[in-house]
Chain A
């Protein structure tokens, strides 16, 4: 479809007053694109490395960990980033199922559910990685004391 350039476009992001529902809509897309590209490649790469034998698998895991087997900065950024993207996308996906059913469009409800999605994604990511990295966190604190 070609567009008539003499007609106005809908205002750009900088023209709107930001709201929670607008934020969550954009986060949903960003998280989805991240999961689809980075997440998809990591997932397929991991299966491929596992099928290619022990050495290739060790190379793949070596990109994400230090020699002792603990996670490195690349692994942490990928792991935490993809976890946040997954849970934010999942919670907003559930919110969309409710809206598909025709519910949750009242301004207050819609705003609250949007805030809950953003908060839920952050909280679940912090809890999961706090638990996974607990030995590292306590080790760092212990090392300083």
Chain B
């Protein structure tokens, strides 16, 4: 391993085969969001109202609960990738960038976990 330029150190090693992964996951989750969020908006509009009884009854159906869980996972995965690019583009201080990306991951995974657990609690709790 030479001690020359960055290019000199990696030349000849070949691709890490990971270059397009972020881009691909962003497109994949974008397609998922297109279907899942559209389904979610149409479903909410079609409910008679958004009272607690109506909403929990709707979410306790297995198909709806599974779709809602996949929706949450997909939405938070997509926003984690998107906000990461925004931070990388606009935060130029390395320490701030690292700190903010850590916070972003805590937010995305934490909020998604809360939402998924909530859906599961509603779905399992109201087996009448």
Name the interface size band of chain A.
Answer: 20 to 34
Q: A43-B75, A90-B34 are in contact. Are A50 and B83 (CB under 8 A)?
A: no
User: Which residues of B are found within 8 Å of A2, using beta-carbon distances?
Assistant: 94
Chain A contacts of B79 at CB under 8 A? 32, 35-36, 40
CB-based contact B111/A40 at 8 Å: yes
Q: Which residues in B have their C-beta under 8 angstroms from that of A93? A: 30, 34
* Minimum distance in angstroms from A45 CB to a CB of chain B: 9
Q: Does B100 contact A (CB under 8 A)?
A: no
Residues in A with CB closer than 8 Å to B56 are 50
Known: A3-B92, A32-B86, A43-B72. A50 touches B52 (CB 8 A): yes
Decide if A29 touches B121 in the complex (CB within 8 Å). Answer: no
Question: 3 closest pairs, A vs B, by CB?
Answer: A51-B118, A36-B79, A47-B118
Interface status of A58 (Cβ within 8 A of chain B): yes
Using a CB–CB cutoff of 8 Å, the interface residues on chain B facing chain A are 27, 30, 33-34, 37, 41, 45, 49-50, 52, 55-56, 59, 68, 72, 75-76, 79, 82-83, 86, 92, 94, 107-108, 111-112, 114-115, 117-119, 121-122
| Contact partners of A84 in chain B: CB under 8 A | none
Query: What secondary structure prevails in chain A residues at the interface with B?
Result: helix
Q: Are A44 and B114 neighbours in the complex by a CB distance under 8 Å?
A: yes
Chain B interface, DSSP helix/strand/loop, else mixed: helix
Cα A61 to Cα B55 with chains together (Å): 12
Known A-B contacts A40-B111, A47-B118, A50-B55; the reply to A61 vs B50 at CB < 8 A is yes
Instruction: Check B115–A43 contact: CB distance below 8 A.
Output: yes
A3–B94 alpha-carbon span in the complex (Å): 11
Name the distance in Å between B79's Cβ and chain A's nearest Cβ.
4
Cβ of A119 under 8 Å from chain B = no
For the complex formed, measure the closest distance between the CB of A54 and the CB atoms of chain B, giving whole angstroms. 5
Inter-chain contact A36/B52, CB cutoff 8 Å: no
